[in-house]
A and B are shown apart, each in its own frame.
Chain A
Amino acid sequence: MLSASSCARWVTEYSCRAPAVPTARATDCGAVSHSDAVQAVGHVEVDFGASGLDLLTFTAHKLGGPYGIGALLARRQVALTAVQHGGGQERDVRSGTLDVAAVAGFAAAVAVATDTLATEEQRVRALRDELVAAVRGCVPDVVVHGPSDPADRLPGIANIGFRGCVADSILMLLDGAGVDCSTGSACSAGISQPSHVLMAMGQSVDQARSSLRFSLGHSSTRADIVALVGALPDAVARARSAAGVG
């Protein structure tokens, strides 16, 4: 099974839009292709039928729906093995009573997200470009990760490296200023690990540790960027001085 993680998540748009050579090849070899498209569905156009993928998953809470519910799209030809047994509902792979309220909420969220996708993608992408420019304006030596052309990146996400500090420190100070952002994956003890995706893209452990992800969505506005820029220079300066001592 070949699984492409989250359409490479925040970094780049991937093969969800159009048929992709690797997935076609994988199918020829008898492999099953899957994409975790949580960051794509509702944010960019996704055509499962044209993608060549066998399986695609996405989740409600990434597009404005309730937590605790997701969806699996599966081609008819793919033989799935149930991990949860019982009444054999839903093609014999997921047994049990459905959470109807969550299903309805998920469907409503997908409907809104896809209906407004064209204008919303443009709006969020412009806001994201504004965020990157504003961050560069107040902390000039940042590194913006991902493809060099911003148009090739997912619209609502900016992953930015702040040289000479641990992103954890910036996150804590921004949190105190009311700005939520993310350092990457967290293990069960709550310790943030350096992003393995950034490291797979050739960044060092220190560079990965110095990187923060800023995400924008349907509720984001220019005021959020103003708030970020108001808090960021001091947070970065303090984080850099903390890195010097600690």
Chain B
Amino acid sequence: MKVLAAMSGGVDSAVAAARAVAAGHDVTGVHLALSKNPQSFRSGARGCCSKEDAHDARRAADRLDIPFYVWDLSDRFAADVVDDFVAEYAAGRTPNPCLRCNEKIKFAAVLDRAVALGFDAVCTGHYARLQRDENGVQMLRAVDAAKDQSYVLGVLDQSQLSRSFFPLGDSVKADVRAEAHRQGLAVADKPDSHDICFIADGDTAGFLARHLGERPGPIVDEAGRTVGEHSGTHQFTVGQRRGLRLGTPAADGQPRFVLNISPVSNTVTVGPRDALAVCTIEGLRPTWTATPALGGWSGLVQVRAHGQALPARITAFDDGVVIRLDEPALGIAPGQAAVLYDGLRVVGSATIAATGRWDDSE
């Protein structure tokens, strides 16, 4: 196969490319330049698109003796991921930009361009397993549960999965690093990247304030009493406890959490931890990894990256999903993806639009 290996400059994508080469594929490395103003050097575990990272990717490609190119996707990334991130916060939701990048950039813009240029598949260093059989491709969680990235890939459909290649899904991270050492890849000990790549200093609140400004408004309790002030609803996520700076203590002295964000009335509602308990989730824009799993079925749902898989009863329609959790769960934020699993297998995903409290549904 002619394989396009997306190489971020990190150890995972370098080893993934190495494995594609070892499997006998005709591999070409591509570094995706996503930032409009890339920093010269990587700082700590944040940011993945510095010039240093591009050079690391190039050196890895040289080591593997494969052609290497840089594709400038900064315009698409700004429009489809960064602007979307800001718009989602402005609308009171909590987006997942990594998932959006997979959906719009890596497995859309890049994959489509690769196929048009004659490649059969795109190879990445994501931790997820693909199983191919006569019915198509199924995506399973990675063997390394701590590194599993099936959640941020859950939005991919069959046509995307059938042209994807995740060579690391069967490995644990320690083995990947050891293999990088054996291959002589200089990135073998490079730190893992965390957080949001386009917010290099890690200050998401500051990033949003720069893009959306300050819009002061009230923080109210469940009874509607004003208990504090905020500088903009985009500074909050459902389930958040820190940074509320409430002047009036709760009657019971217990900590309070963000329960609801309403950009229209510019109000943040807070309440006790118990009030975060969610029983039902409504999801919009469902996507399916294979045939749509419409109707009612029992499965698992994951509602945030690195979250638990929660047992649930799922009812799926063409345009939405209703998920009824077996046990209440805390702090489920609209805008995040609800990824649906059948055991270890990813079935599909939907964007969380609304949640129902435990007592609402009884």
Residues of A at the B interface (CB closer than 8 Å) are: 168-169, 172-173, 175-176, 188-192, 238-239, 241-242, 244-246
Which residues of the other chain, B, contact A246 by a CB distance below 8 angstroms? 109-110, 112-113, 116
Is B72 located at the chain interface by the 8 A CB criterion? yes
By the criterion CB–CB under 8 Å, are B54 and A241 in contact? no
Residue of A at shortest CB range from B31?
A190
By the criterion CB–CB under 8 Å, are B112 and A245 in contact? yes
Determine the distance from Cα of A172 to Cα of B74 in the docked complex, in whole angstroms: 19
Residues of B at the A interface (CB closer than 8 Å) are: 28, 31, 33, 38, 40, 51, 54, 58, 67, 69-72, 74, 109-110, 112-113, 115-118
By the criterion CB–CB under 8 Å, are B116 and A176 in contact? no
By the criterion CB–CB under 8 Å, are A238 and B118 in contact? yes
Q: In the assembled complex, how far is the CB of residue A162 from the closest CB belonging to chain B, in whole angstroms? A: 14
Indicate the member of A169, A172, A192, A244 with the most B CB atoms within 10 Å.
Answer: A172
Q: In the assembled complex, how far is the CB of residue A128 from the closest CB belonging to chain B, in whole angstroms? A: 27
Which residues of the other chain, A, contact B118 by a CB distance below 8 angstroms? 173, 238
Q: In the assembled complex, how far is the CB of residue A238 from the closest CB belonging to chain B, in whole angstroms? A: 5
Residue of B at shortest CB range from A169?
B117
Which residues of the other chain, A, contact B109 by a CB distance below 8 angstroms? 246
Determine which of A175, A188, A241 lies in contact with B116 in the assembled complex, contact meaning CB atoms within 8 Å: A241
11 other A-B residue contacts (CB within 8 Å) besides A173-B118, A190-B54: A168-B71, A172-B28, A172-B67, A189-B54, A190-B33, A190-B58, A191-B33, A191-B72, A192-B72, A239-B117, A246-B113
Q: In the assembled complex, how far is the CB of residue A41 from the closest CB belonging to chain B, in whole angstroms? A: 31
By the criterion CB–CB under 8 Å, are B67 and A176 in contact? yes
Which residues of the other chain, A, contact B69 by a CB distance below 8 angstroms? 168, 172
By the criterion CB–CB under 8 Å, are B70 and A190 in contact? yes
Q: In the assembled complex, how far is the CB of residue A105 from the closest CB belonging to chain B, in whole angstroms? A: 26
Which residues of the other chain, B, contact A238 by a CB distance below 8 angstroms? 116-118
Which residues of the other chain, B, contact A242 by a CB distance below 8 angstroms? 112-113, 116-117
Indicate the member of B33, B71, B74 with the most A CB atoms within 10 Å.
Answer: B71
List the 10 closest A-B pairs by CB distance, nearest first: A242-B116, A246-B113, A245-B112, A190-B70, A241-B116, A191-B72, A189-B51, A242-B113, A189-B54, A191-B33
Which residues of the other chain, A, contact B70 by a CB distance below 8 angstroms? 189-191
Residue of A at shortest CB range from B52?
A189
Residue of A at shortest CB range from B38?
A189
Indicate the member of A168, A189, A191, A245 with the most B CB atoms within 10 Å.
Answer: A189
9 contacts between A and B (CB under 8 A): A172-B117, A173-B118, A190-B54, A191-B70, A239-B117, A242-B113, A242-B117, A245-B115, A246-B112
Determine the distance from Cα of A172 to Cα of B113 in the docked complex, in whole angstroms: 12
Q: In the assembled complex, how far is the CB of residue B196 from the closest CB belonging to chain A, in whole angstroms? A: 20
By the criterion CB–CB under 8 Å, are A169 and B113 in contact? yes
Residue of B at shortest CB range from A193?
B72
Determine which of B51, B54, B67 lies in contact with A175 in the assembled complex, contact meaning CB atoms within 8 Å: B67
By the criterion CB–CB under 8 Å, are B33 and A189 in contact? yes
Determine which of B51, B58, B116 lies in contact with A245 in the assembled complex, contact meaning CB atoms within 8 Å: B116
Which residues of the other chain, B, contact A176 by a CB distance below 8 angstroms? 28, 67
By the criterion CB–CB under 8 Å, are A173 and B117 in contact? yes
Q: In the assembled complex, how far is the CB of residue B362 from the closest CB belonging to chain A, in whole angstroms? A: 49
Determine the distance from Cα of A246 to Cα of B69 in the docked complex, in whole angstroms: 17
By the criterion CB–CB under 8 Å, are B113 and A245 in contact? yes
Residue of B at shortest CB range from A176?
B67
Which residues of the other chain, A, contact B117 by a CB distance below 8 angstroms? 169, 172-173, 238-239, 242
Determine the distance from Cα of A175 to Cα of B116 in the docked complex, in whole angstroms: 16
Which residues of the other chain, A, contact B113 by a CB distance below 8 angstroms? 169, 242, 245-246
Which residues of the other chain, B, contact A244 by a CB distance below 8 angstroms? 116
Q: In the assembled complex, how far is the CB of residue A180 from the closest CB belonging to chain B, in whole angstroms? A: 12
Determine the distance from Cα of A176 to Cα of B119 in the docked complex, in whole angstroms: 12
Which residues of the other chain, B, contact A189 by a CB distance below 8 angstroms? 33, 38, 51, 54, 70
Which residues of the other chain, A, contact B33 by a CB distance below 8 angstroms? 189-191
Determine the distance from Cα of A134 to Cα of B28 in the docked complex, in whole angstroms: 29
Determine the distance from Cα of A238 to Cα of B31 in the docked complex, in whole angstroms: 20
Q: In the assembled complex, how far is the CB of residue A192 from the closest CB belonging to chain B, in whole angstroms? A: 7
Q: In the assembled complex, how far is the CB of residue A196 from the closest CB belonging to chain B, in whole angstroms? A: 16
Q: In the assembled complex, how far is the CB of residue A218 from the closest CB belonging to chain B, in whole angstroms? A: 27
Determine the distance from Cα of A244 to Cα of B31 in the docked complex, in whole angstroms: 21
Determine the distance from Cα of A80 to Cα of B26 in the docked complex, in whole angstroms: 53
Which residues of the other chain, A, contact B28 by a CB distance below 8 angstroms? 172, 176
Q: In the assembled complex, how far is the CB of residue A90 from the closest CB belonging to chain B, in whole angstroms? A: 33
